[in-house]
Amino acid sequence: MVRRAASCGACRRIAAGYWQEAPRYILRMTKDVLSRRLRTAKPQPSGDRLALTEGDLALFELLNRHGPLPTTYLAAFLRAKSLGYLQWRLTRLYNGTRNTPSLLSRPPQQFQSFAARYQPLLYDLTPASRRLIDERGTTLIERTDPFLHRFMGACVGASIEIGCRKQGLRYIPRMEILAKAGKPLAAQTGRGILIPDDLFGLQYRDGSYRFFAVEIDRQTESLERTTIGYRTFAGKLENYAALMGMQGYKECWGVPNLLVLTVTTSGPHLEGLLGVVRKRIPQQLWTRFLFKAHGEFCMRWRVPETLCHLLLTGWRYADGNLYIADP
C-alpha cells in the first residue's frame, strides 16, 4: 500500500523514511493546484517599483531589535487596522520587484514545526533591509545563535515591548543602553565573560527605572555538572551573582540596578532552576533572579500568542513572586 501511495519522487523518499529530505522538495514548489503561491515558495518578484513607507522601516527596526517574529506580533506592534492588508504588504516586501531585492525573509526552519501549516508566518530581515536601516543610523544587531533560540528570545522581547506600550511604560532597548554606556554587551565578571541574550530597561510612570538581563533557556545546557570545564546554567547564574556582588553592571552597562529574567520551556525545569538558585546563590540576591516557563517553545514548538502577560503576571523567584510592571 505504501508503494502505491508513493507516486512522486518526494513521496517515495518520505515513505522510505527520508524525513530530513522533505523540506528540500517542499521548498522547490511555488504554487498549489489552484495556482496560489505557497508560503514555502522562494520570492517571486513582480512589478518594477516598491515605495517604502515609515511603517515598513519601523517594521525593519523591530525585527533588528528582537529577531524573527510572526505576523501576529508585527500586527500588534504596528497596530494594524487590517491584518489582511498587513499580510499583503509583508508578502510584497518578501517577493520584491524586478528592480528591488527581497526585503524580508521567511526563515525555512519555521516549516519544520508540527503546526507550520496552520500558524502565522515568521519574517526576518534580509541583507537589503539591513543595509536600509544601517543607512538610517540604526545599530545592527548580529545574531549567530540557533534559530529556535533566536525566535524564543524575539517573542519574549517583543511581547514585553508591546505590553509596555499598552501599560504606558517606556521600553528601553539594549541598543540605547549600550550606546549611552559606550560599552559592548559582553561583560567581565571576574569569573569570566558574561553575554546575556538580551538587555532592556523599563521606565515607570513615577520616573523610576529597572533594568533586566534576559536568558533564554531551551534546556540545551545542563543545570549542574561535577566535571570541570563544561558550561552549565548554574555557572551562568553564578556569573550574574558575581557581577551583582561587585555592582559591575554599573561599569559594564551604565545601569543603576539589574535583575535577571530567565524564560524556560517547562515547569519541572523551572523548579530545577529555582533549586540551583537556593543552593548556589546568596540569599540576599534571590529576588534578582526571576523565572517563567512557557511550553510553546518545547521540542514540538509552535508560534505562541503575544506574551504580554510576561509583563503583567508574577515572575517566580526562589522564595515568592515579583511583578516587574510595578516600580
H-helix or E-strand containing 163?
Answer: helix 147-167
Q: Tally the domains of the chain.
A: 2
Nearest to 281 by CA among 215, 235, 327: 235
Residue 265 lies in a domain: yes
| Cα three-residue angle 200-203-206, rounded to 5 degrees | 160
Domain boundary among 114, 135, 156: 135
CATH number of the domain encompassing residue 41: 1.10.10.10
Residue 154 lies in a domain: no
Helix (H) or strand (E) holding 151: helix 147-167
Residues 279 and 180 in one domain: yes
> What is the model's pLDDT at position 229?
46
Q: Are residues 41 and 94 in the same domain?
A: yes
The verdict on residue 10 lying in a domain is no
CA contacts within 13 A on the Cβ side of 311 = 27
Is residue 54 included in any domain, yes or no? yes
Q: Are residues 218 and 307 in the same domain?
A: yes
Give the predicted TM-score (pTM) of the model: 0.85
pLDDT tens-place values along the chain, 327 residues long = 434 444 444 444 434 443 344 445 444 556 666 566 677 888 888 888 889 999 999 999 999 999 999 999 999 998 888 899 999 999 999 999 988 899 999 999 999 888 888 899 999 999 999 999 999 999 899 888 899 999 999 999 999 999 999 899 999 999 999 999 998 999 988 788 899 999 999 999 999 999 999 999 988 877 876 544 457 888 899 999 999 988 999 999 999 999 999 999 999 999 999 999 999 999 999 999 999 998 888 888 888 888 888 998 999 999 999 999 998
CA distance 278 to 275: 5
Q: How far apart are CA 154 and CA 29, in angstroms?
A: 29
pLDDT value of position 324: 94
> CA torsion sign, 90 to 168 to 314 to 322?
positive
pLDDT at residue 149, rounded to an integer:
93
**Does residue 171 sit in the same domain as residue 310?**
yes
Asked whether residue 177 is domain-assigned, the answer is yes
CA atoms within a 13 Å half-sphere pointing along the CA-CB vector of 57: 12
Residue 20 within any structural domain of the chain:
no
If asked whether residues 285 and 201 sit together in one domain, one would say yes
pLDDT in the model for residue 2: 39
Range of the domain at 104: 31-135
Residues 315, 175 share a domain: yes
pLDDT at residue 80, rounded to an integer: 86
Do 121 and 175 lie in one domain? The reply is no
- Supply the CATH number for residue 172's domain: 3.40.1350
Q: Is the dihedral of CA 167, 72, 42, 109 positive or negative?
A: positive
Angle in degrees, CA 142, 145, 146, rounded to 5: 135
120 and 186 both lie in a single domain: no
| 236 and 297 inside one domain | yes
Verify that 82 and 229 share a domain, yes or no. no
In whole angstroms, give the CA distance from residue 164 to residue 151: 20
Q: Mark which of 135, 158, 179 sits at the end of a domain.
A: 135
| CB neighbour list of residue 191: distance below 8 Å, 6 or more residues apart | 238, 239, 242
Same domain, 212 and 114: no
Q: Are 61 and 126 part of one and the same domain?
A: yes
Q: Compute the distance between CA of residue 116 and CA of residue 122 in angstroms, rounded to an integer.
A: 10
Q: Tell me, yes or no, whether 2 lies in a domain.
A: no
* 3-class secondary structure, 110: helix
Is 118 part of any domain?
Answer: yes
Q: Which of 111, 135, 159 is the last residue of a domain?
A: 135
Cβ–Cβ < 8 Å for 103, 93: yes
For residue 324, what is its C-alpha cell?
A: 516587574
